[in-house]
């Protein structure tokens, strides 16, 4: 049996969080509401809204879940764009730093 994979663009929204400073300055709040992380992946099928995808980041030690909000064909990208949000209500600082430092995710500010 031959299965064909669908190449899609994952558009990930992550929650805002408080990041501790490396020096003695106070922790700061990072607002991620106007930032998305993008990654092209191969999936066996286009996921439906509500599905949870296990995603990886090259700098992360373990996969993390993201909940699909919608899947739409994008003519400009010539592929499906899967809009997701981080599956948990809060994100550990280590996962946030791993996502920022990951070579396979690209951050994109919203206009």
CATH class of 6-14+31-106: alpha beta
Report the pLDDT averaged over residues 56-85.
92
Instruction: Report the share of the chain in percent with pLDDT over 70.
Output: 97
Cα(33)–Cα(49) distance, integer angstroms: 20
pLDDT in tens, 92-108: 888 888 898 899 999 99
Q: Which helix (H) or strand (E) holds 7?
A: strand 6-13
pLDDT in tens, 47-67: 999 999 999 888 777 899 999
Kindly give, in sequence order, each residue whose CB lies less than 8 Å from that of residue 75, ignoring residues fewer than 6 positions away: none
| Statement: residue 78 has pLDDT above 70 | yes
Instruction: Write out 48-98 in H/E/C secondary structure.
Output: CCCCEEEECCCCCCCCEEEEEEEEEEECCCCEEEEEEEECCCCCCHHHHHH
Supply the Cα-derived Rg of the chain in whole angstroms: 15
């Amino acid at each position: 049996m031959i299965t064909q994979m669908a190449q899609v663009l994952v558009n990930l929204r992550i929650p805002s969080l408080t990041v501790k400073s490396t020096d003695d300055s106070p922790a700061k709040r990072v607002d991620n509401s106007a930032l998305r992380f993008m990654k092209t992946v191969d999936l066996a099928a286009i996921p439906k809204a509500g599905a949870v995808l296990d995603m990886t980041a090259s700098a992360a030690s373990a996969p993390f879940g993201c909940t699909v909000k919608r899947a739409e064909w994008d003519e400009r990208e010539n592929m499906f764009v899967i809009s997701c949000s981080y599956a948990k209500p809060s994100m550990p600082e280590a996962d946030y730093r791993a996502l920022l430092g990951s070579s396979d995710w690209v951050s994109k500010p919203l206009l």
